[in-house]
Chain A
Amino acid sequence: MINGKEVREGIHDGFPIFLGYFTTALAFGLLTRTSGFRFVEGLFTSMITFAGSGQFLMMNLYNAGSLFLSIVVSVFFINSRYIFMASSLSQRLADPKSVLGRLMCGFGTVDEVFTVASFKGHKLSYSYMAGLIFTSYVGWTSGTALGYLGGTFLPEVVQKAAVITVYAMFASLLGSETRRGGKAILVASFSALLNSVLILVCGLSTGLAFLISMIAATVFGALIYTDEEVGIE
């Protein structure tokens, strides 16, 4: 049932995510070492969690000496956005039946995989998703391991500039979506503006601010898009 062509397409589409994750994970790996984690503990964290912001949050709170329960609850809240992303992505699967396939997609529903897959424009096969998730996962775990062992061996300016990779990917997806219809930029600007105000002006945590902005912008979008534009009968 594995379609080699679609796996390769997934790997191809996952390459930008690989780049962004690898460089971000270098910093995470280094952070686990300086926080007193053993190599296997740092790597294990990335292997079973596979989440950027959630893992950084866990380490920061751990270093701040937070209570066990407050760390776990905070990590849950920063991850609550995935409920919406996974719900949305599950509606785009070509074969919604396979249990193993759904487990794999759930494991791999990170922000970047979600956006790349969502804008694919057709139903998603598990072969494609496997290629996409696998490539991202390799970037995240190998970056963590190398970051722990070698630190961020990239020159400082490169390491600093590499942060842009993931945002450039998002901006590129937004650009192609805007080409297809101008309403996309309206909805995205709405959420960008609201999120900036909530974080920079109101001082909300990034997790909560993101959740509010995303939900408010989807409602705004649903009001200005017609049913046909969204593909709902």
Chain B
Amino acid sequence: MNKLLLIISCAFVTMLPRIVPYFASSFLSKLPKFIRKCMMLLPVAALGALIFPLALTDFGASWYAGLVGVVAAFAASMLKGPMILSIIIALLSTTGMLLAFPA
């Protein structure tokens, strides 16, 4: 298999769905109100599925380490901590769980 052709083809099918919608704004703004409303809610809807179940399955048998990290980050931001603090807390608690309870 030609590796260069493979790399370029995969990049092409990655960029196509990302770039084309930016040039379809006149079409997008004419969509029914309900669809436009859906589009504004897409970020929140994406968040849940971006986190679960991959945050657990990425850790395999140590799935609880991922769960603790996610919960810690969520709790930190509910307490108005800045994002970087959430991440540091998550990193520390996940590392701690991995060290304390090796799978």
- Count B interface residues, CB 8 Å: 75
Q: Hey, which chain B residues are within 8 Å of A192, CB to CB?
A: 48-49, 51-53
Looking at the complex, which one of B13, B29, B55, B90 makes contact with A75 (CB distance below 8 Å)?
B13
Known: A172-B76, A188-B48, A210-B49. A225 touches B41 (CB 8 A): yes
- Count A interface residues, CB 8 Å: 95
B3–A217 CB distance below 8 A: no
Alpha-carbon distance A213/B49, docked complex (angstroms)? 7
Alpha-carbon distance A179/B20, docked complex (angstroms)? 34
A161–B49 CB distance below 8 A: no
**A–B Cβ pairs within 8 angstroms, 19 of them:** A55-B10, A82-B14, A82-B18, A84-B39, A87-B28, A96-B25, A103-B22, A119-B43, A163-B58, A171-B70, A172-B77, A172-B86, A173-B77, A174-B47, A174-B77, A177-B47, A188-B51, A215-B45, A232-B40
Question: For chain B, what secondary structure do more than half of its interface residues adopt (helix, strand, loop), or is it mixed?
Answer: helix
Question: For chain A, what secondary structure do more than half of its interface residues adopt (helix, strand, loop), or is it mixed?
Answer: helix
- Among listed A2-10, A135-143, A144-152, A194-202, interface-contacting one: A194-202
A174-219 interface with B by 8 A CB criterion: 174-179, 184, 187-196, 199-200, 206, 209-210, 213-215, 217-219
Residues on B lying within 8 angstroms of A by beta carbon are: 1, 3-11, 13-25, 28-29, 33-34, 36-55, 57-59, 62, 65-66, 69-78, 80, 83-84, 86-87, 89-91, 94-95, 98-99
Alpha-carbon distance A163/B38, docked complex (angstroms)? 30
Q: Hey, which chain B residues are within 8 Å of A83, CB to CB?
A: 17, 20-21
